[in-house]
Amino acid sequence: VNKPGEDVHSLKGGVAGGSILQGVLRVGDEIEVRPGIITKDAEGSVVCTPIYSRIMSLYAEQNDLQYAVPGGLIGVGTKIDPTLTRSDRLVGQVLGLKGHLPEVFSEVEVNFHLLRRLLGVKTQEGTKQAKVQKLTKGEVLMVNIGSTATGGKVVKVAEGDLNVARIALTQPVCTEVGEKIALSRRVEKHWRLIGWGEIRKGSKIAVNTTTYGTNNNTSNDDNNKNDNNEEIRKGSK
């Protein structure tokens, strides 16, 4: 943790915390964080720039690890600029090995299932809970995908008995087809769970592969060491 007044030479990189869903992370692995930095280009299209870095340490509670597997909470020490990670700015983003993360979506089509009645809403004695109304085009919902909570506008609802809806997300999300989601609606100034669903497909966003957020000091140091080694070898000859 970087405390106020920390000397610039002793600053540490950002730390990611969470659970590993699949695979193995090892100290020294190259990683990326998606969606990363979200911007708009000259035409107004959303562009995502992943943050690339390297794992410097792994912790589970007080235990220093060399590798981590699924199960429990893991702290991943990286070389990401602390400015990007402070105040939980990257909450909900996905960390994984470079080149192995899912696509980034701005719009998703989901198979949804609505609850019969609202949960957590006070009712008068002897009355039943209010029924959950059907989704309507244009309404705004809260969509939970993994650890990400984002707003979503219902763009289209399939007619008939097909429980299929297309939702435009207010911020891009790194996810994959088949991922489970939760849907909430604003009722009496509170978000209430109204149903769940599964992603069928979606609109993908182009990912900018430009390096962002990586501290290049180590690579420069390594290059300097290699140059020195080459000089030593030349001198020995």
pTM value is 0.75
Across 99-103, 124-128, 193-197, least confident range: 124-128
| Cis bond upstream, residue 172 (ω within 30) | no
Predicted pLDDT of residue 213? 53
Percent of the chain with pLDDT over 90: 52
Give the Cα separation of 197 and 109 in Å (integer): 10
DSSP H helices in the chain:
82-85, 217-236
Percent of the chain with pLDDT over 70: 84
Mean pLDDT over 16-26 rounds to: 92
Is the pLDDT at 112 greater than 60, yes or no?
A: yes
pLDDT digits (tens, 9 = 90+) for 148-176: 899 999 999 987 778 899 999 999 999 99
Predicted pLDDT of residue 155? 93
Give the model's confidence band at 131: pLDDT under 50 very low, under 70 low, under 90 confident, else very high: confident
Mean pLDDT over 17-43 rounds to: 90
Is the pLDDT at 117 greater than 60, yes or no?
A: yes
